[in-house]
């Protein structure tokens, strides 16, 4: 459990020496309790205090980074159960499974598909994050060859090496030094050897047990051997079990400071029915997994899962924004109507969706209003006549259109006169208040 300011104060030297930059030890203790200061700032703190405070101030979920190239995956560090309380920190990584018994062509196809999986949505680059390579052959040489070949084809891609055979793990890890993969496959019967291998190669150890109790015991045992970085699997495979175990893990680590489950969770969503697989993966994304392993990455599935992940991991305090520019919807010719709105992503999506539904080609000028919706932006002085006029002038849109006419949202009809004053030669038309009236409105414009 995190310590209160007063509890921390009791462990400090109480000299009020100010060397930490705070006026008193109590003030420093309060900052420590809010995690706004680091204990290192105190030169006189005792070793005992350091140990106690260090344990108490460690994040409930250990921060762990998988991979070493340009595309590492950060995991752990979560502090809440519900996204409205505080932003979920590290988005759940999506990994695709390949087996060492798959043919060379099918592995190559999988790696190519993975490279091709990158998409851009609302300014974010989204892609499959890791490859899960499963040893099925029982042959360490074949397994290590597969791992090496995939690593060569996708050198930046973080890998999860899956085997329960320490000899196969050793053989594979030797081929890919310095890549910081996850070695998934420590269990009750091989824990010691796997822990040794993980330590030797400085990799993250994936720990499996058949239930939460056994898992909690096993991570403690492995930690005692000196392995700090683990990802954990409680054996949950059905949606109900995944929800139960992930919820218990999140609650135990955050509310009860249970360290033995304070690690990122790896979940398995593979199903023969790919639509069901997408739903189980959705559960993993929304409910606390750090890695979810998929059987395949059809583009439609990746797009849906990337989008859900983006939605769930959005900061609830910061509105999503789209880029300021003039968007063409449909084949917008010189005579297509020009509308303006703000850059709150929801506003943009709803307005552009309705314009698309109208099937009337149009231009939508989206102005940077710091992610506020139309009325809020207007009230906050970020969607004013002069700013709108400046944006339209600087956009150079004048040269591309045949009639200088700007449609403004009905909620800011009050701005029409002022915009016309500041944009000489332009006519301002007041559009509907709500986006759902746009199709009917645009049809009358034609």
Binding site for another protein (CB under 8 A): 82-84, 116, 119, 121, 212-213, 215-217, 220, 238-240, 243-244, 247-248, 251-252, 255-256, 258, 260-261, 273-276, 278-280, 282-283, 286-287, 298-305, 307-308, 310-312, 314, 316, 346, 349-350, 353, 356-357, 440
Q: How far is the CB of 350 from another protein (least distance, A)?
A: 7
* Closer residue to another protein (CB): 165 or 216: 216
* Closer residue to another protein (CB): 6 or 275: 275
Cβ 77 vs Cβ 36: under 8 Å = no
Cβ 40 vs Cβ 8: under 8 Å = no
* Closer residue to another protein (CB): 103 or 238: 238
* Closer residue to another protein (CB): 11 or 218: 218
Q: How far is the CB of 79 from another protein (least distance, A)?
A: 16
* 166 Rama sector, left if φ>0, alpha if ψ -120 to 50, beta otherwise: alpha
Q: How far is the CB of 335 from another protein (least distance, A)?
A: 23
* Closer residue to another protein (CB): 315 or 335: 315
Q: How far is the CB of 311 from another protein (least distance, A)?
A: 4
If DSSP codes are grouped into helix, strand and coil, which group holds residue 60?
A: coil
As a whole number of angstroms, the distance between CA 267 and CA 73 comes to 16
Q: How far is the CB of 124 from another protein (least distance, A)?
A: 12
* Closer residue to another protein (CB): 50 or 127: 127
Nearest to 188 by CA among 224, 217, 230: 217
* Closer residue to another protein (CB): 246 or 384: 246
Cβ 437 vs Cβ 409: under 8 Å = no
> DSSP class of residue 437?
G
Which DSSP string do the residues of 175-203 spell out, in sequence order? HSTTS--EEEEE-TTTHHHHHHHHHHHT-
As a whole number of angstroms, the distance between CA 71 and CA 69 comes to 5
As a whole number of angstroms, the distance between CA 350 and CA 166 comes to 54
Question: What are the angstrom distances between the C-alpha of 420 and each of 360, 394, 407, 424?
Answer: 25, 16, 12, 6
Q: How far is the CB of 388 from another protein (least distance, A)?
A: 24
Question: In this structure, what token pair is assigned to residue 404?
Answer: 């200088």
Q: How far is the CB of 132 from another protein (least distance, A)?
A: 21
Cβ 186 vs Cβ 166: under 8 Å = no
* Closer residue to another protein (CB): 175 or 244: 244
* Closer residue to another protein (CB): 160 or 286: 286
Question: In this structure, what token pair is assigned to residue 190?
Answer: 């091989």
Q: How far is the CB of 359 from another protein (least distance, A)?
A: 11
Q: How far is the CB of 445 from another protein (least distance, A)?
A: 15
Cβ 202 vs Cβ 179: under 8 Å = no
Q: How far is the CB of 260 from another protein (least distance, A)?
A: 7
As a whole number of angstroms, the distance between CA 43 and CA 323 comes to 47
Q: How far is the CB of 184 from another protein (least distance, A)?
A: 21
* Closer residue to another protein (CB): 100 or 277: 277
* Closer residue to another protein (CB): 84 or 399: 84
Question: In this structure, what token pair is assigned to residue 167?
Answer: 């000899």
Question: In this structure, what token pair is assigned to residue 271?
Answer: 């199903």
Nearest to 94 by CA among 164, 163, 183, 157: 157
As a whole number of angstroms, the distance between CA 241 and CA 233 comes to 12
As a whole number of angstroms, the distance between CA 341 and CA 392 comes to 12
């Amino acid at each position: 459990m995190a310590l209160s300011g007063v509890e921390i104060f009791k462990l400090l030297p109480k000299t009020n020496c100010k060397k930490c930059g705070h006026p008193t030890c109590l003030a420093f203790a309060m900052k420590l309790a809010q995690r706004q200061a680091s204990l290192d700032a105190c030169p006189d703190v005792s070793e005992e205090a350091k140990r106690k405070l260090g344990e108490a101030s460690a994040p409930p979920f250990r921060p762990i980074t998988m991979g070493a190239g340009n595309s590492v995956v950060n995991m752990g560090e979560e502090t809440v159960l519900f996204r409205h309380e505080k932003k979920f920190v590290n988005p759940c990584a999506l990994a695709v499974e390949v087996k060492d018994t798959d043919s060379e062509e099918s592995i190559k196809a999988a790696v190519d598909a993975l490279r091709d999986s990158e998409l851009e949505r609302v300014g974010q680059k989204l892609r499959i994050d890791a490859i899960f390579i499963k040893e099925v052959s029982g042959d360490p040489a074949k397994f290590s060859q597969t791992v090496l070949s995939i690593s060569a084809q996708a050198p930046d891609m973080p890998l999860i090496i899956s085997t329960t055979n320490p000899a196969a793990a050793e053989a594979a890890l030797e081929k890919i030094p310095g890549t910081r993969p996850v070695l998934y496959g420590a269990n009750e019967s091989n824990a010691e050897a796997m822990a040794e291998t993980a330590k030797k190669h400085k990799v993250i150890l994936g720990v499996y047990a058949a239930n939460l109790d056994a898992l909690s015991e096993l991570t403690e045992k492995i930690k005692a051997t000196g392995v700090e970085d683990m990802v954990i699997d409680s054996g949950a495979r059905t949606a109900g079990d995944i929800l139960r175990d992930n919820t218990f893990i999140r609650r135990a680590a955050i509310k009860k400071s249970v360290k033995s489950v304070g690690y990122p969770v790896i979940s398995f969503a593979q199903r023969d029915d790919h639509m069901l697989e997408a739903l189980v993966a959705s559960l993993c994304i929304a409910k606390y997994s750090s890695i979810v392993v998929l059987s395949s990455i059809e583009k439609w599935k990746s797009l849906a899962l990337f989008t859900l992940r983006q939605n769930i991991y959005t900061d609830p305090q910061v509105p999503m924004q789209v880029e300021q520019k003039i968007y063409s919807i449909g084949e917008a010719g010189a005579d297509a109507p020009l509308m303006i709105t703000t850059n709150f992503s929801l506003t943009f999506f709803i307005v552009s969706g309705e314009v698309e539904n109208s099937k009337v080609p149009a231009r939508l000028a989206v102005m940077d209003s710091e992610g506020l919706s139309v009325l809020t932006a207007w009230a906050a002085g970020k969607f004013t006549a002069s700013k709108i006029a400046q944006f339209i002038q600087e956009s150079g849109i004048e040269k591309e259109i045949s009639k200088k006419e700007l449609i403004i949202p009905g909620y800011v009809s009050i701005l029409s006169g002022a915009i016309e004053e500041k944009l000489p030669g332009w006519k301002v038309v007041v559009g509907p208040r709500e986006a759902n009236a746009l199709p009917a409105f645009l049809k009358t414009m034609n």
